[in-house]
Amino acid sequence: MSFTLHDMGSENFEFNANVWNWKAALELIKGFDFFSENKLRQMAYNATGIRVEIDDAHFIGEKIRDQILPKLEPDKRIFADGTITDQPDDMTLFKDGDEQWKNYSVSYEWLKDFSDFCLRSKGFQIF
């Protein structure tokens, strides 16, 4: 499953995420304690067209840039639970219930690109 975030101000400006990255990113966004549970639930499904308005998109971008990225370094990644590792993603699919959380992480580079997208966008829709 994939997610495409379309900038509401430019038809050709978009950001792509796979489910493994997006779920981890949403958990980080949830930790900002800004969006309602309903909004976060809608953001977790692709093809809904849920809107994230410009101020909210910029808020996400700023929080990631100012709070999350300083904890990371290039070549590190953060899991959905907030733990950080320097181990590269070897694409192992963890099926055991106790280890499934290891499937969801985002790299420093991915988060930086996502933060930049949020800050440059005029808000976005999730498809």
6-36: pLDDT as tens digits: 999 988 899 999 999 999 999 999 999 999 9
pTM: 0.91
How is the beta sheet containing 77-79 ordered, strand by strand? 84-85, 77-79, 105-107
pLDDT at 31: 95
37-92: pLDDT as tens digits: 999 999 999 889 999 999 999 999 999 999 999 999 898 999 988 899 988 887 77
Secondary element (H or E) of residue 19: helix 19-30
CB distance 22 to 35 below 8 Å: no
Q: Which of 97, 68, 66 is nearest to 82 (CA)?
A: 68
Domain ranges of the chain: 2-126
